A and B are shown apart, each in its own frame.
Chain A
Amino acid sequence: MRTGQPRLGSQNRIAAYFAAVVSDESVRECFAGPAAFPILPNKRVYFARNRGDGEDKEEVEAKVQALGVTATSKYMGEQWLVHVPGTHTRSATHHPQKNCVSNFVTFTTRHQATTTFIMVGPTASLAPLYRADGSSSYTCPATGYELLGAVNAPVELPARRDALKPEEATVEVFVKPGTTTAGVGERYVEGILRSVLATVILGREKGLPRRGVVITLAIVGGEDVERGDSYLTLLPALLHTSLLALLSATVPLSMTFSATLLGVTKSGIIIPDPSAADAKAMASLHALAFSSKGHLLLNESQGRFEFDTWEAVRQKALAICQNTAVSADGDVSMAEGAEGAPLHDFVRETVEDQVHRDYPWKIDAV
Chain B
Amino acid sequence: MTTPLVLLPGEEVPSDHLPPTKNNNPLKLGPGLRLLSQPSTSAAAGHVLTATQAGLLTTDAKRNTVSLLSFSNRRYLPTTNDLIIAQIHHSSADYFHCMVTPHTAHALLGQLSFEGATKKTRPMLKQGELVYARVLSVGIGAGAEVELTCVNPATGKAEPGGLGPLVGGMVFDVSTGMAARLIRASSASPDQTDAVEGLVVLSELDKKLESVGGFEIAVGRNGKVWVDCSNAGDSAIQATVAIGRCLQQTDEGNLSTSEQKKLVSRILREMKIG
Contacts and interface: CB of A to CB of B under 8 A. Distances in A.
A246 B188 CA distance: 32
Nearest to B181: A361
B9 A247 contact: yes
Contact of A358 (B10, B72, B138): B72
Contact of B73 (A127, A162, A252, A352): A127
B75 A351 contact: no
B117 interface: no
Interface residues of B, number: 39
B131 to A, nearest CB: 24
A211 B142 contact: yes
A32 interface: no
Contacts of B199: 361
A253 B69 contact: no
Nearest to B255: A361
Contact of B6 (A157, A248, A352): A352
Most buried by B among A126, A293, A358: A358
B4 A366 contact: yes
B120 interface: no
A78 B191 CA distance: 56
Contact of B71 (A248, A348, A360, A365): A248
A205 B198 contact: no
Contact of A360 (B70, B197, B254): B254
A352 B71 CA distance: 10
Contacts of A36: none
Interface in A309-366: 328, 347-348, 351-352, 354-355, 357-366
Contacts of B54: 247, 250, 351, 355
Contacts of A328: 12, 42
Given A209-B141, A361-B254, 7 more contacts: A210-B142, A211-B142, A248-B71, A291-B10, A348-B8, A359-B56, A360-B256
Contacts of B75: 133, 249
B71 A127 contact: yes
Grouping DSSP codes into helix (H, G, I), strand (E, B) and loop, the B interface class, with mixed when no group exceeds half, is loop
A363 B254 CA distance: 12
Interface string B62-80: 0000000111111101000
A252 B7 CA distance: 13
Interface in A240-262: 247-256
Contacts of B72: 358-359
Interface of B: 1-4, 6, 8-12, 32, 42, 52-56, 58, 69-75, 77, 105, 138, 140-143, 177, 197-199, 254, 256-257
A283 B12 CA distance: 41
A148 to B, nearest CB: 17
A362 B71 contact: no
A247 B74 CA distance: 11
Contact of B10 (A126, A157, A251, A293): A293
A250 B70 contact: yes
B254 A252 contact: no
Contacts of B52: 202, 205, 252-254
Most buried by A among B3, B54, B70, B75: B54
A291 B10 CA distance: 10
Contacts, number: 112
A251 to B, nearest CB: 8
Most buried by B among A202, A250, A348, A360: A250
A157 B11 contact: no
B9 A358 contact: no
Given A211-B142, A249-B74, A358-B177, A363 B56 contact: yes
Contacts of B77: 154, 207
B194 to A, nearest CB: 11
A164 to B, nearest CB: 14
Given A254-B9, A255-B9, A366 B3 contact: yes
B69 A292 contact: no
Contact of B256 (A127, A247, A355, A364): A364
B81 to A, nearest CB: 14
A362 B69 contact: yes
A272 interface: no
B97 to A, nearest CB: 17
A151 B253 CA distance: 25
A157 B8 contact: no
B198 A157 contact: no
Given A127-B71, A361-B198, A351 B254 contact: no
Contacts of B254: 357-358, 360-361
Interface string A146-173: 0000000010110100100000000000
A348 B55 CA distance: 11
Nearest to B142: A210
Contacts of A127: 71, 73-74
Contacts of A247: 8-9, 53-54
A254 B10 contact: yes
Closest 7 CB pairs of A and B: A361-B198, A255-B10, A253-B9, A252-B52, A210-B142, A247-B54, A210-B141
A362 B56 contact: yes
Nearest to B138: A207
B198 A156 contact: no
Most buried by B among A364, A365, A366: A365
A359 B197 CA distance: 10
A355 B74 contact: no
Contacts of A154: 77
Nearest to A352: B6
A134 B74 contact: yes
A251 B73 CA distance: 14
B10 A355 contact: no
A291 B8 CA distance: 12
Contacts of A361: 197-199, 254, 256-257
A363 B143 CA distance: 39
Contacts of A159: 142
